[in-house]
């Protein structure tokens, strides 16, 4: 590599895309195109970045398999950031194998991180954990270690393992500061906010209060009978029963849970109905911090990224038509906004101020 390419690569590694562009802005050779694409991606111009990376991949010769594989990994990262979850995962896996075979363990690990982050977004936590377990972050650079710990924290948060998440985020913060990349430091700080925001409301004995994610974890580990309105399940000790596809029964369970230890009146009887758990001494309702229609759609949009309706449908395991109707309804209410047209149309919304929506994201139940 010539000195300008080397300097541009170092600038990108240090989180300085403008410095990289100053060195390769006019380069049309394959390495220059690749670095320009990566720089534009860091600056947020994802459409131009994708075009540059594809040109670079075509420009590299048949003996430059590693360079082409790196372009594929970079394009996969752009797809993830732009929430193009339908991007071919097999293409990324093939690039990872090529990088491993040629000894580029750093970029091969980065490909793994991208794969895990995609699995995390679509709720495949078991598969994400198995993939992550194949990586040892010890020999990685500080930036790669920070990325690894962010993924560990993301899985732990979705699993409601707050101590594990907090420890991973602390390690991520140290690694990010060591890397000296401001954008990475900001990403870790943003992820850490989830643990300090109200995640749910506890309704019990006619009163309610907000709970942090850590308090939700403690509640679900207790002996209480929990009617979980965040995931539409009922929990009794280690038993979890999903009522997501039985909405009428869930509404009844929630009404009885909110009335406990009293009963719900019915005109045909004197006392009505009451919920009587077999073992639990306490019945509580766990509700969303803000009751909202189409909450699951808003939960994904809460990450601040722009999503296509097809990506949302994939993440929610719903039809694209159903998701589009939800988006249209939210747009009419001024809660989401879109830009672009056709397949390029994307949706986004400002985050719900002061709240975390992590409990609204779909996740497999313990018996799935």
Residue 352 clears pLDDT 70, i.e. is over it: no
Residue-averaged pLDDT of the chain: 85
Length of the chain: 368
What residue spans define the domains of the chain? 3-195, 199-287, 295-351
Tell me the sheet residues that pair with 208.
203
Q: For residue 207, give every residue at least 6 positions away whose Cβ sits within 8 Å of its Cβ, in sequence order, or none.
A: none
Whether the per-residue pLDDT at 97 is higher than 50: the answer is yes
Which tens digit of pLDDT belongs to each residue from 151-161? 999 999 989 99
Q: Name which CATH class applies to 295-351.
A: mainly alpha
- Res 184 pLDDT > 60: yes
- R_g of the chain, CA atoms, integer Å: 24
Q: Are 194 and 283 in contact (CB under 8 A)?
A: no
The superfamily in CATH containing domain 3-195 is Tetratricopeptide repeat domain (1.25.40.10)
Query: Does residue 295 register a pLDDT over 90?
Result: no
| 235-278 confidence digits (pLDDT tens) | 987 788 988 888 888 888 998 898 888 877 765 656 677 777 77
pLDDT score of 358 more than 80: no
When pLDDT is averaged across residues 133-149 and rounded to a whole number, the result is 87
Q: What is the pLDDT of residue 314?
A: 85
Report pLDDT for 130.
92
Domains 3-195 and 295-351 fall in the same CATH topology: no
| 9-60 residue pLDDT tens | 888 888 888 898 999 988 899 999 999 998 898 888 888 999 999 999 999 9
List of residues 6+ apart from 52 with CB closer than 8 A? 33, 34, 36, 37, 40
d(CA 330, CA 324): 10
């Amino acid at each position: 590599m010539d000195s300008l390419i080397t300097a541009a690569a170092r600038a990108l590694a240090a989180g300085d895309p403008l410095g990289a562009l100053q060195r390769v802005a006019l380069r049309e050779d394959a390495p220059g195109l690749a670095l320009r694409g990566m720089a534009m991606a860091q600056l947020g111009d994802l459409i131009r970045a994708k075009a540059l990376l594809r040109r670079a991949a075509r420009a590299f010769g048949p003996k430059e398999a590693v360079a082409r594989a790196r372009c594929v990994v970079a394009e996969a990262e752009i797809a993830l950031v732009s929430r193009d979850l339908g991007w071919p995962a097999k293409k990324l896996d093939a690039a990872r194998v090529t990088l491993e075979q040629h000894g580029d363990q750093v970029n091969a690990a980065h490909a793994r991180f991208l794969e895990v982050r995609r699995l995390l977004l679509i709720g495949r936590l078991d598969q994400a954990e198995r993939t992550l377990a194949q990586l040892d972050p010890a020999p990685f650079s500080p930036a790669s270690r920070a990325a690894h710990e962010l993924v560990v924290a993301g899985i732990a948060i979705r699993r409601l393992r707050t101590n594990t998440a907090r420890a991973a985020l602390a390690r991520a913060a140290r690694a990010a500061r060591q890397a000296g990349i401001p954008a990475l430091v900001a990403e870790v700080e943003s992820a850490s906010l989830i643990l300090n925001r109200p995640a749910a409301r506890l309704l019990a004995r006619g009163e309610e209060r907000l709970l942090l994610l850590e308090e939700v974890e403690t509640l679900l580990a207790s002996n209480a009978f929990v009617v979980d309105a965040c995931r539409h399940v009922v929990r009794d000790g280690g038993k979890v029963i999903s009522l997501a596809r039985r909405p009428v029964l869930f509404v009844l369970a929630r009404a009885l849970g909110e009335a406990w230890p009293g009963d719900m009146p019915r005109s045909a009887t004197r006392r009505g109905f009451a919920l009587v758990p077999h073992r639990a001494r306490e019945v509580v309702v766990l509700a969303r911090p803000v009751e909202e229609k189409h909450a699951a759609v808003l939960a994904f949009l809460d990450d601040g990224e722009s999503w296509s309706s097809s990506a949302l449908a994939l993440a929610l395991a719903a039809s694209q038509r159903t998701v589009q109707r939800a988006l249209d309804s939210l747009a009419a209410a001024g809660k989401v906004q879109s830009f672009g047209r056709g397949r390029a149309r994307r949706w986004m919304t400002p985050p719900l101020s002061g709240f975390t929506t992590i409990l609204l994201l779909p996740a497999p139940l313990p018996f799935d």
